[in-house]
Amino acid sequence: MFNVALAGLGWWGKIMVPQIKKSNKINVLKVVEPNAASTPGIAGYARTHGVELVTDLQAALRDPEIQGVVLCTPHTLHTEQIVAVANAGKHVFCEKPLSMNRADVLRAVEAVNRNKVALAVGHERRFEPPIIEAMRMIHAGEIGTPLQIEANFSQDKFLSLAADNWRLSTEEAPAGPMTATGIHLLDLSVGVFGEAAQVFASVKQLDSQLVNGDTLAIMLTFKKGGHALISAVLATPFDGRFAVYGSKGWVEVRDKTHPEAPEGWVLTKVIRGQPRVVKEYAPAPNVLANLEAFADAAEGRAPYPVPQSQMIANISALEAAIKSTQTGKIVDVES
């Protein structure tokens, strides 16, 4: 069993602990929450799930039983925490985004590789069965040359957050929905096309109290060709869609519900000259599948499915998108 500590018992961290407890590959021994004393229910949560509660990440890193760390912490902390975990010789799984800019993600990846530990990222969409099938079709050439992506990930869960929640801060969410939901679609787009070349992004506060913006639109071009049109809204009920259009056909994956409480997906594919095919997918534990892929990589059973080059390309495009929302201009993606 691969033993980890989980840092950050916020909304998503509390979802991940019971997910890990279902596994026969990965187990959480410790949880790290610096604000435990001032957060009601944290101690009880730790007792309920049979994990030790500590308030300092270094305490987990000093524990020889801990082989890896799962980071569910605010975005701007990720780079320094990845470096610290890697320097302690522990493997690291980090929630998205890995970093907020290219320079930081390069520093994080360098620390991981220098210490010869595994790095994984919380892009669980890559582990959804219909997304896996869609990517297989695309890379096998079944829809021909990929031409354009249309993707949307919208939700209204953030409307109930307190105004001082870190997920709504200018520092942690400088482009509104970008780091919350748009980053997942950016990751999938990189998975199809590779490195982005240019980005134009616009974020607006149209009808909510979300001062960093509730409505985001992005257009990207890619070095190998193709476009991606990405939409993310934080002030409308859930909708999720990822579609790739190619020279021979297209494939689309639609979510039935928010991934927090999945009810499955619908995959539609259309190939020129063939009947439309629609396939229903039952819910699947894609969050756990990602964590178990991390454990497999850490213990040498299989490479982690998301290459580091794509992790870097995703953050490089993220940095350009944030700059574009701030300047109103098309921004070249650094490489």
The 10s digit of each residue's pLDDT in 124-156 is 999 999 999 999 999 999 999 999 999 999 999
pLDDT of residue 49: 95
pLDDT of residue 6: 98
Give the helix ranges, DSSP H, for 236-327: 286-298, 308-327
Mean pLDDT of the chain: 96
The 10s digit of each residue's pLDDT in 69-110 is 999 999 999 999 999 999 999 999 999 999 999 999 999 999
What is the percentage of the chain residues whose pLDDT exceeds 90?
A: 92
Q: Which residues contact 7 (CB under 8 A, 6 or more apart)?
A: 13, 31, 32, 33, 57, 60, 69, 70, 71, 72, 73, 81
pLDDT of residue 173: 93
Q: Which residues contact 206 (CB under 8 A, 6 or more apart)?
A: 214, 215, 235
Beta strands in 140-180 (DSSP E): 146-154
- Measure the CA–CA gap between 239 and 250, rounded to whole angstroms: 20
CB 83 within 8 A of CB 106: no
| Mean pLDDT score, 187-195 | 98
Q: Nearest 5°: phi and psi at 327?
A: -105, -20
The yes-or-no verdict on residue 36 having pLDDT over 90 is: no
pLDDT of residue 261: 85
CB 288 within 8 A of CB 22: yes
Place of tokens 């190939």: 271
Q: How many CB atoms lie within 10 A of CB 278?
A: 11
The yes-or-no verdict on residue 38 having pLDDT over 80 is: no
What is the percentage of the chain residues whose pLDDT exceeds 70?
A: 100
pLDDT band, residue 301 (cuts 50/70/90): very high
- Measure the CA–CA gap between 333 and 335, rounded to whole angstroms: 6
pLDDT band, residue 40 (cuts 50/70/90): confident
The 10s digit of each residue's pLDDT in 239-291 is 999 999 999 999 999 999 988 888 999 999 999 999 999 999 999 999 999 99
CB 28 within 8 A of CB 61: no
CB 186 within 8 A of CB 224: no
pLDDT band, residue 180 (cuts 50/70/90): very high
Q: For the chain, what percentages of helix, strand and coil (3-state, to nearest 5) are there?
A: 35, 25, 35
Q: How many CB atoms lie within 10 A of CB 294?
A: 26
The 10s digit of each residue's pLDDT in 105-118 is 999 999 999 999 99
CB 99 within 8 A of CB 76: no
